[in-house]
Structure 1
Amino acid sequence: MSAQEVVFGFGAHSGIDDAPALLRMVRQADREGLDHFSLSDHPYFGGRLDAYAALGFLLGRTERIAGLANVTNLPTRPAPMLARTVTSLSALSDGRVVLGMGAGGLWDRIADMGVPRLSPAEAVEAFEEAITLVKKLSGGGSPVTFEGRHYRVNGIEPAPVAAPPVWTGSVGPKSLAATGRVADGWIPGHAADWLSERYRTSRPVIDEAAAEAGRDPREIRTVFNLPGLITERPLAATRDEDGRWIGGSAGQWIEELTGAVLRHGAAGFTLFAPDGGTQDAASLGRWAAEIAPAVREAAVKAGV
C-alpha cells in the first residue's frame, strides 16, 4: 500500500469455527479493493485462531490486501522471532503485511501462559526495544548485536527484507511517546475517534516525541478502529449522547470520514461491527464499493 494513501480495511475477532467465513470475507475484501484486514491476537483463548498462523494462510489465499494483528500480543512473541515471522510473511506476500504492536494488556492471562509478568513501565520499555529490534533485523546489512534491558541478540544476521510498517495500539503517555520515537502508525485505543478526548490529548504526545527524536510527526499515521452500523437510510443522529460514532447511511459515513481525513489528518480506518466484532458481508461490500472510493476520491481532490 502507498505510504500516503488513505487506507480502508476491516477487523475480525475469529474463532476456529469461524475460519471458513473469515476466508470468504477476506477474499471478498481483496476482490473489492480494500487495503487491509486485521485479526486480534489473544493466544490464551483456546477457541481463537492464532493470529499469525491465520495471517499466513489468508495472505496465501489473496492477491492485493495486506494483513495485520490488531495488535500483536508482544509478551508471548519474543521480538527476534517476531522479526523473522513478519519479514517472512512480507517476502511470501510481496510486502502485504503490517506489524501491529502492543505492550500487552491482559497480564493475568499472559502470565497464565508462563510469561514473566512485567510492570507497566517495563512492558513499555520492552515494547520500544522490540520495535527497534524488529527494524534492525530487517533490510539486510551487517549482523546485529543489540543489548537492551529486555532483549539481547549477538551477531544475528538481518533478513534481506524491509521491515513492514509498524502500527501501535499505544494508550498511556510512555507508550505514546515510544510510538512517536520508533513507530510508523498509531491505532488509538478503545476505538477512540478523531473527535474524542482520548485522541485530542494523546496525539500531541506522539507528535512531541517524534519531533524530539528528529522525526516529522506526519510520518506517524493515525489509523482508526471504527465500529459502526451501515444503514440503508440516514440516521437522525450519527453519534450517541457521549459523542461516539454509531454509524449511518453510506452518505453519512462518507461525509464523516472525509471530514476526518481533511480536517483531522486521519490516514485510515478499520471497520468493525457496532459491538466491536466482525461486520456482515453486505456491510463490508458497501464499505468497499461505496464509502471507501468516495472518501479516497475526496482526499485526492484535496491533495491529501
Structure 2
Amino acid sequence: MSDYGHDLIFGSFITPGGADPGRTVGLAVLAEQVGLDLVTFQDHPYQPAHLDTWTLLSFVAARTNRVHVAANVTNLPLRPPAVLARSVASLDLLSGGRVSLGLGAGAFWDAIEAMGGRRLTPAEGVRALEEGIEVIRQVWDTGTRGGVRVDGEFYRVRGAKRGPAPAHPVPIWVGAYKPRMLQLTGRRGDGWLPTLGYLEPGALAKGNAIIDDAARQAGRSPADVRRLLNIAGQFSAAGGGSLHGPAAQWARELADLALTEGVSAFILASDDPDDLRRFAGEVAPAVRELVAAERDGATAVPPEPVSPPEPVVAAPARSRRATVASGPFTVTPTPDDGVRRSDQAAWDESTRPTGPTPDPERTYTAHEQATAAHLVDVHDGLRAELAQIHDLIEQVATGEIDAGAARSHINTMTMRQNRWTLGVYCESYCRIVTTHHTLEDQSLFPWLRARDPRLRPVVDRLEHEHHVIHDVLEGVDRALVAYVGSTDGLAELRAAVDLLSDALLSHLSYEERELVEPLARLGFG
C-alpha cells in the first residue's frame, strides 16, 4: 500500500475543440464555478480540429480567478523547451501562480514529423525529455549567475539569459508508462500523470515502485513525486463496472486508489457539464472525507456523497455559509432591493403568499443552520451567473464576442442546465450538496408540502415561478438565436436579459425569505 500523504486535487480534462470555442472555454469556466481545482487540455498541435493548447490555456486563465491550468500533456517535440519555459513562466506570472506543466516525450510521430518536428525513437524521446526538463529548469532559475547552458544530444542552449521566474514553483508532471520514462519521472519529475484507461492491471503499483526506487537513487523522497491520474467513466443509478455507477461508488473506488496506490489528483476526462458538476459536488467531497477518515485512523463509509467544503458554484464574497453556529436562527435571507430593469413584470409580486411565522424561542443546531445557509450559497452562485450573462451581452454589444459564443457559454451554466420545473434548489442542492440522503429522484417541494402543510401555498407559488423562469430563460435563448442572424435585435436581447434579471433576483429573494427557516426547522438533509 502507498499513500504519499498529498492533499487531494480534482480536475477536468476537456477536449480543446475548435468547432465551438465558446463552449470549450465555458466548460473550463464551469469547472471553476463548481469547485474543481484544475483544468487541463490535451496538446496535439498537429490536430487542426483543436485549438492551440497554450493559447487556450492563456485565454482560460484570463477568464478564471482560482482554478489552476495545465496541458495534459505538453507535446515537447513541437514546443522548444527554452521558449516553452518562458511561456509557462509568463502565464504563471499573469495568472497569479496557477500554472502546472505536464510534459510528454511525444507520440504520433508521423504527425509530428509532418509539422516539422524530429522523429525520435522511444529511447531518444526519453533522453530528449530529460534534456528539455533541464533547459526549462535552468531558464526558471534566476538565482544562478550566468546564462542557460545545456549541451545536449537534442537540445543545445548556449548562454541564453535566464528568466522570467514563475510566480510559484511550477510542478512538472510527466506522462509516463514505460520503465525508462518512469525512472525519469522519479529522478526529475514532480508528478506522474498517466491515463487509467491505458494502464494494465497492476501497472499503478509497478509504476510507483519504479518511480520510488529512481527517486531514492537520485537522493529524493518518493513523496516528492505527486501521483496524478486521468480517469473516465459514466454516472448511472446502478453499478456496471469500474467508475460506472452512482457517485458513491465512484467515491469508494477513487478513495481506494488514493489510499492503496498513492493517487492524489484525479482528472476527469469529460465534456459533459453535468459530469463536471457531479464530480465536483458529489464525488470529490466524499473522496476527501473517506481519505481523511482513513488517514486519521477512523472508519467512515458513508453510502452517499457528503457536503462539499465549497459552494457548488462560484459565490460572491458576501456568502454567509461559514458563519452559522448553534443558537438562535441567524441565516439572513438576501433582501430584494426592489430595483427593476424591465418595463415588463414576470408576475404580480403582491399576490405572493407567506409561510408560518418562526417560533422566536426555538434554537437551531449548527448543522441545521448550515443546511439553511446552503440555499443561500446555491442562490449566490446563480446570482454570480446572472452577472456573467449581463457581461456576456455587453461583450456581444461591443463586438468582443459574437452571439453564438455567448449562447454557447450560457448553455454551460448551472442556471441553463438546471431543470427549473423541478425547482432550482432541489436540482442544485439535493443532488450536489445533500449529505446522507439520495434525493435525486425527489423534488424538494413535495417533501416540504408533506412535512409542513402550512407551506403549501408558498411551495405552489414557488413552483409556478420556476415554470415562468424557465420560459424567461427560453426567451433569452430565442433572442440570442435571433441576434445571430441579425444585428438589429440588440434591444430585444437586452430586454430579454433585463426581464430575466428582474424575475430571477426577485424569485431568489422570495424563496430564501420563505424557505431558509423551514429547511433548518424540518431537518432537511
TM-score higher than 0.5: yes
- Secondary structure of 1:11's partner? strand
The answer (yes or no) to whether the contact 1:90–1:97 under 8 Å persists in 2 is yes
The structure with the larger Rg is: 2
After superposition, where does 1:70-149 map in structure 2 within 5 Å?
A: 70-141=72-143, 142=145, 143-149=147-153
Residue equivalent to 1:151: 155
Which structure has more strand as a fraction of its residues? Answer: 1
Q: Which is further off, 52-61 or 256-265?
A: 256-265
Which residue identity lines up with residue 220 of structure 2 in the other structure? R
After superposition, where does 1:261-272 map in structure 2 within 5 Å?
A: 261-272=258-269
Residue equivalent to 1:287: 279
| Cα distance in structure 2, aligned partners of 1:150 and 1:271 | 34
Which residue identity lines up with residue 68 of structure 2 in the other structure? A
| Cα distance in structure 1, aligned partners of 2:141 and 2:58 | 20
Residue equivalent to 2:55: 53
Task: Please state if 1:222 is matched with 2:222.
Answer: no
The answer (yes or no) to whether the contact 2:138–2:162 under 8 Å persists in 1 is no
Higher relative contact order (CA 8 A, sep 6+): 1
Identity, in percent, stands at 38
Match of 2:182 among 164, 170, 176: 176
The answer (yes or no) to whether the contact 1:100–1:168 under 8 Å persists in 2 is yes
| Cα distance in structure 2, aligned partners of 1:118 and 1:249 | 43
- Secondary structure of 1:170's partner? coil
- Secondary structure of 2:99's partner? coil
| Cα distance in structure 2, aligned partners of 1:158 and 1:14 | 29
Note the C-alpha offset of 1:139: 4.0
- Secondary structure of 1:67's partner? strand
Partner deviation per Cα, 1:203-229 (whole Å, 9 max, x = no partner): 221111111101111211111111100
Note the C-alpha offset of 1:199: 2.0
| Cα distance in structure 2, aligned partners of 1:298 and 1:38 | 25
Label 1:133 to 1:226 Cα distance change in 2 as closer, same or farther (>3 A): same
Which residue identity lines up with residue 258 of structure 1 in the other structure? A
- Secondary structure of 1:34's partner? coil
**Runs of 5+ consecutive residues of structure 1 not aligned to the other structure:** 239-244, 273-277
Residue equivalent to 2:201: 196
Match of 1:247 among 244, 247, 256: 244
Runs of 4+ aligned structure 1 residues displaced above 6 Å come to none
Partner deviation per Cα, 1:168-188 (whole Å, 9 max, x = no partner): 111221111111100011112
| Cα distance in structure 1, aligned partners of 2:41 and 2:132 | 20
Partner deviation per Cα, 1:97-129 (whole Å, 9 max, x = no partner): 110100001111100111121222111101011
Residue equivalent to 2:216: 211
Residue equivalent to 1:241: none
| Cα distance in structure 1, aligned partners of 2:6 and 2:208 | 18
Task: Please state if 1:234 is matched with 2:238.
Answer: yes
Tell me the matched-pair count. 288
The answer (yes or no) to whether the contact 2:34–2:276 under 8 Å persists in 1 is no
Which residue identity lines up with residue 228 of structure 2 in the other structure? V
Which residue identity lines up with residue 61 of structure 2 in the other structure? L
The answer (yes or no) to whether the contact 2:27–2:271 under 8 Å persists in 1 is no
